[in-house]
Structure 1
């Protein structure tokens, strides 16, 4: 556990300040949900600031911790992380500004001002992805003694980077929007998170993910949070190793984490494929169900392979 958590002499302050700001904005957003009954695109208007505040806080705390693991490139990582903190604050400020104005923040090009704000958000997301890429590369080059922690952090960082990148699937105009641009009936929105249905339709509780069509927010969300899920899984294995002899071997735990990581990547790919076909998460068709079953079997087989190997054989066969 000590190796996984690492020594934390000083977590990156701008990241932690940003996380603290987002914690405060979580409270503000909850108050907004309670006191402001406005609805935008079928959802309470303060729901988006709430979700973004929580997501940004988790992102910043996670990277503030990961930066303590770096043994080289600390100065570069600190500068990039400070820039990321500024970027996410700017993006969040635009979201809140648009909520106060009663306007959509994403995909909104109805007026020159709305379009300018969304353009700034687009640039900020690209910069966020690039900064995260730099941090991920530095993290991949970092030596981490515990093999399970090493696999968890590296796979989590790569899958998370892919998850952030999947947000780009939402920004292009839909067929209907392209048609409206051609025939002069443009209504001000370019891009959408729903596939096969219009944004703002029936959605799942809390998340708001579409229950009638595909929703590209799902792979974006699932992918991004690999950076938290996989290290927590490695930490869980370390705790369980105190009670289960099969988990005492670091190599066995590393194999289980690797299986979990590739299985998680498979889930991201699956929900992306499902969303792009205009299919709700809660209503998979036969092909999606078959693919999910195949993924479950593959992960189960991988886990059995990792656990079945004797400790001596694993220790001797894998460095």
Structure 2
């Protein structure tokens, strides 16, 4: 193989350095935060440990950075543009937001919706600006990643579909920054509020919560849809990879792998929309009413029916008609 071909192959398989180092740094921060939860007894007003939020965000940002680094490594065109977009994403989105969250945790005060002092308000504004930039950079990266030529047609669908759902999940975060009805009344009366925005719907923040995630168990929680949607960029490509491995044992799937990826992505988008609808109605994830259960059952049935129809059509086309004697 010529030197030129070796260099081209090396370019294709090289991961994005800043995103890769960012993912590694997030793993370190998650470890440090986990230790903080053990040795630091301080809690916030909602009773959760001050290091829980840095721990969760470090894991989420680590997955985000690692996934983008892998996606960029698969690109064959516009690599320089993708490199710069990935670098700006690290410097303008991940680093400022996780730094703000960690800084507030070290101070022992909430990082989100905190307007108690001028410093707290400034920190939250920095986080908000970083989040907007992160959404724009993720969108731009998605556009250039979609434009790639890929031999793997299923992955060519999985990456853009995962990115679109992730952008929708990121957008749910903006719903949390809006003042609640009670806060809106206070602002209209000219009061200076210590908290503006909330992740709970139907009850104040700080009620009974689920372990680890911290999601509300007695009210709707917008963070559920935010989390589910955000991580579609990992789940949908993993479905494509899983189906590729399954094709070795079940060859019938080879011809319909792309269609199954589309079905899986549609179902995942449906789940994201379902938990958002549930939260907006002030209903906790662990306390679904009959309407939510029926909607979930209909979604599962629809996805299963579509997947079964796709596989059945593939099996039918593979059948070889027997010759009559």
- Check conservation: 1:8, 1:65, Cα contact below 8 A: no
Structure 2 matches for 1:111-150, cutoff 5 A? Answer: 111-150=117-156
Do residues 301 (structure 1) and 269 (structure 2) align?
no
- Check conservation: 2:13, 2:74, Cα contact below 8 A: no
Q: Deviations over 1:242-275 (max 9, x none)?
A: 111322x2x3111111100000000111111111
- The aligned counterpart of 2:239 is 233
Do residues 68 (structure 1) and 61 (structure 2) align?
no
- Check conservation: 2:169, 2:226, Cα contact below 8 A: yes
- State the shift of 1:186 in Å: 4.0
- Check conservation: 1:42, 1:201, Cα contact below 8 A: no
Do residues 207 (structure 1) and 197 (structure 2) align?
no
Q: Deviations over 1:88-130 (max 9, x none)?
A: 1111111111111111111111111111111111110000000
Q: Deviations over 1:29-64 (max 9, x none)?
A: 011000011111221111100000000011000000
SS at match of 2:28: helix
Structure 2 matches for 1:73-92, cutoff 5 A? Answer: 73-86=78-91, 87-92=93-98
- State the shift of 1:200 in Å: 1.5
Name structure 2 gaps, 5 residues minimum.
Answer: 1-9, 319-325
TM-score calculated relative to the size of structure 2: 0.91
TM-score calculated relative to the size of structure 1: 0.92
Distance in 2 (CA, whole Å) between partners of 1:75 and 1:8 is 12
2:286 to 279, 282, 289: 282
- State the shift of 1:152 in Å: 1.5
- The aligned counterpart of 2:158 is 152
SS at match of 2:140: helix
- Check conservation: 1:149, 1:231, Cα contact below 8 A: yes
- Check conservation: 1:109, 1:189, Cα contact below 8 A: yes
SS at match of 2:179: coil
- State the shift of 1:312 in Å: 7.5
Answer 1 or 2: higher relative contact order, Cα 8 Å, separation at least 6: 1
1:54 to 59, 71, 79: 59
Distance in 2 (CA, whole Å) between partners of 1:29 and 1:166 is 25
Name structure 1 gaps, 5 residues minimum.
Answer: 1-5, 315-319
Distance in 1 (CA, whole Å) between partners of 2:27 and 2:235 is 20
- State the shift of 1:179 in Å: 1.5
- State the shift of 1:291 in Å: 1.0
Report which of the two structures shows the higher radius of gyration computed on alpha carbons. Answer: 2
Structure 2 matches for 1:125-274, cutoff 5 A? Answer: 125-247=131-253, 249=254, 251-274=255-278
Q: Which moved more, 1:212-221 or 1:174-183?
A: 174-183
Distance in 2 (CA, whole Å) between partners of 1:310 and 1:131 is 39
- The aligned counterpart of 1:35 is 39
- Number of residue equivalences: 307
SS at match of 1:72: coil
